[in-house]
Amino acid sequence: MHFRLLNIEKDYALLKEYCNECEKLGYLNNSSIRRLNIDIFNNSLFLIGLENDKIVLFNGAHDLNITGTDYFRVGYRAATTIKTKALFNNHNKTPVTCGVALLMMQLSSKYDAKRFIFTTNSPLHSIDGAGKSHKMDKVLSRTPGHSLIYKN
């Protein structure tokens, strides 16, 4: 898989095809370019993963201010169209593992970002299979140096 930052003008046709595939998979937030909301943030970066000249992975990051503290939210609209029989194998190819680190490095370089926030879905509040990141929530809550800002 080849990773690079999204260039909306250059990648428009590929992104549209990716969104169509996400719609088939039931990923509502990634089902159209409009729903990706890639143009509404002041500072943002979007990473794509390509296989066979197709976008198969998308992960976004954008600026976010919470009670006067600036963060970059990583994992925005993160989804992959790659499916395997084993969920663990699917997570190994998702933005949860490699995409997050690449985005954090790019954000640090471009925006001098120092604080990152990951939003995860609560098992009690997930209404579909798209975007669940319960494993990430468990890992981050047990990792020294990380803390939860809010837990519902």
Which tens digit of pLDDT belongs to each residue from 19-32? 999 999 988 999 99
d(CA 132, CA 138) in angstroms, rounded, equals 12
Q: Which domains does the chain have, with CATH numbers?
A: 2-142 (3.40.630.30)
Q: Which of 91, 93, 99, 104 is nearest to 138 (CA)?
A: 91
What are the b/e assignments for 43-64, b being 16+ CB within 10 Å? ebbbbbbbeeeebbbbbbbbeb
In order of 88, 94, 118, 135, 144, the CA distances from 19 in angstroms are 23, 16, 23, 25, 36
Task: Identify the band that residue 103 occupies on the pLDDT scale cut at 50, 70 and 90.
Answer: confident
User: How high is the pLDDT of residue 31?
Assistant: 96
Which tens digit of pLDDT belongs to each residue from 42-65? 999 999 999 999 999 999 999 999
